[in-house]
Copies of this chain bind each other. A is one copy, B any other.
Amino acid sequence: MTMTSTDAVVDGQGAVTLLDRTRTAVNPQLRSTVESLPDSIRRVAMYHFGWERADGTPDAGQPGKAIRPALVLAAARALGADETRAVKAAAAVELAHNFTLLHDDIVDEDPTRRHRPTAWTVFGIPDALMAGDAMSALALRLLAEDPHPASAAAAARLAACIIELCAGQQADCAFEQRDPREVSLDECLAMATAKTGALLGCSCAVGALYAGAGEEEVAAMDAFGREAGLAFQLIDDLIGIWGDPERTGKPAGADLVAHKKSLPVVAALTSGTPAGEELAELYSRPTLDAEAVRAAADAVERAGGRDWAQAQAAERMGRAVEHLAQAVPDLAAAEDLLALAEFVTRRTR
């Protein structure tokens, strides 16, 4: 199956169609690779991807939206590659992403993922931890065994990215332990870049490598994905405070209830304004009632956190498009990548 940017436009559904077609192209590879795991690890992985229930019976689960695989294929296509040869690479980045989900859920003690109990709550921490370990190795194994000439460079890049993702998750945990006013906005942006931008950038870079692109194009593709990823994080953080109930159903204030040090919150806390002080006082309370949540959202806004995040998101998207134009001078060829960037940042669906 080959997708072209023209198809996506003709279909009139843009990113949604692209993601559907990516799942059709990549999920069989993803599933057969996961099924190659030893039994005891496979049952955890099959559950995590939603293909099986906890008791091992089949489930019609949804293994995620496939944004990262879609970026791999779209980047390869934008640079003239036959995307069918990049399906293993696309499955590899999705495995790497899911490895981080398995471990982050343990570390963050998250009880649910994709509307189901997280793997560690079902199978226990040791089994979920080992399944994550195996999934990381499986991602790199899939690339190392791929006969495509770019596979070794892609494996090296994905391994470097995994290290960056770990550093990002570590920084995130460290921030939660520190006094909110001690975390600088730069540290917070660096953390979001490592935790969210790195793998989106790596996905684009891997696609470029599979198209035989040179170092500069690969770097520009990586930068495109990173900046789009940061824009995504900023908008996700705004939704976490002011909500976007029409589109996502995520309730307003959810991140404030959880005392999350999201980017607009940190911008407000480090603003040196009276509203920033008010927010710090509210965040020092163990729990926030509905009125306090509204007051906190208001304080973030008056401290300039909302405007800053919106301006940053727009700036990052602008930079993303500049990097993309460097990698793919004919922007018509990059239409699918732009559609995906729009999708992740505006959450159209």
Contacts and interface: CB of A to CB of B under 8 A. Distances in A.
Interface of A: 37-38, 40-41, 99, 103, 106-107, 125-127, 129-134, 136-138, 140-141, 143-145, 151-153, 155-156, 159-160, 162-164, 166-167, 169-171, 173-174, 194
Nearest to A155: B144
Contact of A40 (B107, B130, B174): B174
B167 A133 contact: no
30 contacts: A38-B164, A41-B166, A107-B129, A126-B173, A127-B173, A127-B174, A129-B129, A131-B170, A133-B162, A133-B166, A134-B162, A134-B166, A136-B136, A136-B137, A137-B162, A137-B166, A138-B163, A140-B140, A140-B144, A141-B156, A141-B159, A141-B160, A143-B144, A144-B153, A144-B155, A144-B156, A144-B159, A145-B156, A152-B152, A155-B155
The 7 tightest CB contacts between A and B, nearest first, are A141-B159, A38-B167, A144-B156, A137-B162, A144-B155, A134-B166, A130-B166
A162 to B, nearest CB: 4
Nearest to A39: B167
Contacts of A145: 156
Contacts of A143: 144
Interface centre among A106, A145, A174 (most CB of B within 10 A): A145
Nearest to A194: B38
A222 B99 CA distance: 28
Contacts of A107: 125-126, 129-130
Contact of A103 (B133, B153, B174): B133
A106 B129 contact: yes
Given A140-B137, A144-B144, A127 B170 contact: yes
Contacts of A103: 129-130, 133
Contacts of A166: 41, 130-131, 133-134, 137
Interface centre among A133, A138, A152, A169 (most CB of B within 10 A): A133
Contacts of A138: 159, 163
A125 B133 CA distance: 15
Contacts of A37: 163, 167
B130 A133 contact: no
Contacts of A38: 163-164, 167, 194
A107 B132 CA distance: 13
A192 to B, nearest CB: 15
B141 A163 contact: yes
Contacts of A99: 133
A109 to B, nearest CB: 10
Interface centre among A131, A134, A166 (most CB of B within 10 A): A166
Given A107-B125, A130-B169, A133-B136, 19 more contacts: A37-B163, A38-B163, A38-B167, A38-B194, A40-B171, A41-B170, A103-B133, A126-B173, A131-B170, A134-B167, A137-B140, A140-B140, A140-B144, A140-B155, A140-B159, A141-B155, A141-B156, A144-B152, A144-B159
